[in-house]
Amino acid sequence: MTQAGRLAGLTAIVTGASQGIAEAIAKSFAREGAAVAIASTNLKQGQRVGGEIEAAGGSALVLRTDVTRADQVAAMVKAVLARWGTVDILVNGVGGFHGMAPITEITEEQWDHVINLNLKSAFLCAQAVAPVMMERKKGRIINIASQSGIGPNPHAPSFLPYGTAKAGLIGFTKHLAKQLGQYGITVNAVSPGTTVTPRVLQVRDEESLKKIAALNPLNRLLQPEDTAEAALFLATAEARSITGINVSVNAGTLIA
């Protein structure tokens, strides 16, 4: 970790940072000097990530948090303020789904769970940190959306609740950017394509992953670090005039 990095002296909350893309984001932020709060329901995995950050010389705070619950989100922000005094960056990295089903087989409970996990969580977390950022007249909110939120992958099956939630997250990003811009706060989204993460390996088999890689212009699957570096840029001072956009990181699988 570097004390003179691009995020030196800043404090970030990264939700869902116990694995996958959000873990890579937390580590990239810490590498660039940010103090990082890792919010996850998986305390054991969160502690692993926090321990690895601190072993490399960074500063981490691991918080067991269900970000679909307003009371737990409020407690998370309170703990970060008690530790570091402010929140400069919020990354809404929580998300995902498990399994596939056509609309005729999706239950109301499945729909609500996926929408809450991917969209409601971002609203609750942004709402909780907004007063801190508004008072200080600066801040970065970065929402991890998905290629599925732009449109269906032409080469792979999609899951309706997930694509819908991520489309909503991209819209949320744009509207929130307009609302918070007057306070010097930028709000952006990053939409990864199929990325080699533990969750993706649960819902896609090896053959489908090979097909996805073969059909994109770069002929490759994404790694978590690909999206992490895009999120890192949006968190830096160099991105101070970029707001309300969705950055596609998908190796050209979906060009829109």
Query: Measured between alpha carbons, how far is residue 168 from residues 105, 154, 175, 221 in Å?
Result: 22, 20, 11, 25
Instruction: Give the neighbor-by-neighbor strand order of the sheet with 59-64.
Output: 59-64, 35-40, 11-15, 89-92, 139-144, 185-192, 246-249
Residue entry with tokens 């990181």: 249
Instruction: From 168, 218, 159, select the one nearest 189 (Cα to Cα).
Output: 168
Identify the helix (H) or strand (E) that includes residue 46: helix 43-55
For 37-63, b/e burial (b = at least 16 CB within 10 A) is bbbbbeeebbbbbbeebbeeebbbbbb
* CA atoms in the 13 A half-sphere facing the CB of 123: 16
Q: How many CB atoms lie within 10 A of CB 82?
A: 9
Phi–psi pair at 17, nearest 5 degrees: -85, 20
Residue 183 designated active-site = no
**Which listed residue (29, 84, 97, 162) is catalytic?**
162
Q: Which residues are catalytic?
A: 162
